[in-house]
Amino acid sequence: MRRKLFAANWKMNLTPAEGRTLIAALRADLDRDAAALARDRDVLVAPPFLAIPAAAQALAGSAVALGAQNMYFEPKGAFTGEVSAEMLRFFGVSYVIVGHSERRHIFKEDDETVGRRAAAVATARMTPILCVGETATERDAGRTLEVVLRQLEIGLSQFPARDAANVVIAYEPVWAIGTGRTATPEQAQTIHGALREALNERLGHDTGAAIRILYGGSVTADNVDTLMAKPDIDGALVGGASLKADSFARIVRAKSA
Ligand code: PEP
């Protein structure tokens, strides 16, 4: 059985001090039933880079893992504005989001470099969360599957074979991110099922069945339970609703299918 994973993507929000306060409140909330939650689910927060050191301190001794929102694939050098695996690992980062739609669409990262980032994260013994998702225009043109399967294929094309199972996929329809317009559980399950099939085909059934596929796009305390009831939805990548401890804690407590 796959453990659920609930990931908080703070995006470009929260100073180190604000991040520390949010983590303290989240820990206090989740501590109330820590043992029950730890049985079948994992939790992580992905702060902006500058809040990572403070977040690492605030998370010390907690079951909540530390994530980052991106990472460059080269180990060091003349790459202004980028951050390396070693820099993230220094602070205990264990998950790295790659290919988030905001990186793809605002910052023009392409499938190929997203794939290189994913491979570099795994090579550095961290877990990449590879995001895929179609725009509204692509969905309206009936191209959803073509787009997400291409992003998956190229995103994994440079992945080290021995790390095949060490990846998390996040299906995030671009039209649902930050819009308040969530995919229905049925729409999401259709795509998750297709992603699972592609993973099975590419990596074999055992590995495909072990990989977690998260849904992201306006997940809230109100819609998380119905999404998590679907067989191939293994957790959530949460933006807006992760910026308040109580709403994210409620999402983490989603009813497990
Ligand atoms: C995200 O940032 O990945 C996301 C899904 O954002 P939101 O939950 O705000 O739609």
Confidence tier at 257 by pLDDT (50, 70, 90): low
DSSP H helical segments within the chain, as ranges? 16-30, 34-40, 52-58, 85-90, 101-105, 111-123, 136-140, 144-155, 185-203, 205-210, 224-228, 245-252
What's residue 59's pLDDT?
98
Q: What is the mean pLDDT of residues 167-183?
A: 95
Name every protein residue with a CB atom under 6 angstroms from any ligand 1 atom. 9, 11, 172, 177-178, 216-219, 237-241
Asked if pLDDT for residue 101 goes beyond 90, the answer is yes
Query: How much distance in Å is there from the Cα of 177 to the middle of ligand 1?
Result: 5
Query: How much distance in Å is there from the Cα of 242 to the middle of ligand 1?
Result: 9
Q: Could you give phi then psi for residue 170, rounded to 5 degrees? A: -120, 115
CA distances for 180 relative to 76, 177, 217, 226, 227, angstroms: 39, 7, 8, 16, 15
- Best mutation site among 6, 9, 215 for ligand 1, i.e. most ligand atoms within 8 A of its Cβ? 9
- Best mutation site among 95, 224, 238, 243 for ligand 1, i.e. most ligand atoms within 8 A of its Cβ? 238
The ligand 1 atom nearest the CA atom of 241: 8
Query: How much distance in Å is there from the Cα of 164 to the middle of ligand 1?
Result: 26
Q: What is the CA radius of gyration of the chain?
A: 17
Strand duo 65-68 + 95-98: pairing: parallel
State pLDDT tens for residues 107-158.
Answer: 999 999 999 999 999 999 999 999 999 999 999 999 999 999 999 999 999 9
pLDDT mean across residues, the chain? 97
Q: Could you give phi then psi for residue 110, rounded to 5 degrees? A: -110, 170
* Rounded Cα distance, 49 and 67, in Å: 10
Instruction: List residues bridging with 213 in a β-sheet.
Output: 169
Asked if pLDDT for residue 256 goes beyond 90, the answer is no
**Is 18 within 8 Å of 249 (Cβ atoms)?**
no
CB-CB neighbours of 204 under 10 Å: 12
What burial letters (b/e) apply to 9-35, b meaning 16+ CB within 10 Å?
bbbebbebeebbebbeebbebbeeeee
Asked if pLDDT for residue 1 goes beyond 90, the answer is no
Supply the DSSP string of 200-223, one letter for each residue: HHHH-HHHHHHSEEEEESS--TTT
Give the total residue count for the chain: 257
* Rounded Cα distance, 236 and 227, in Å: 9
Residue with the smallest CA separation from ligand 1 atom 2 is: 239
Q: What is the mean pLDDT of residues 215-221?
A: 97
CA distances for 90 relative to 59, 169, 193, 214, angstroms: 14, 24, 36, 26
Q: Which domains does the chain have, with CATH numbers?
A: 4-252 (3.20.20.70)
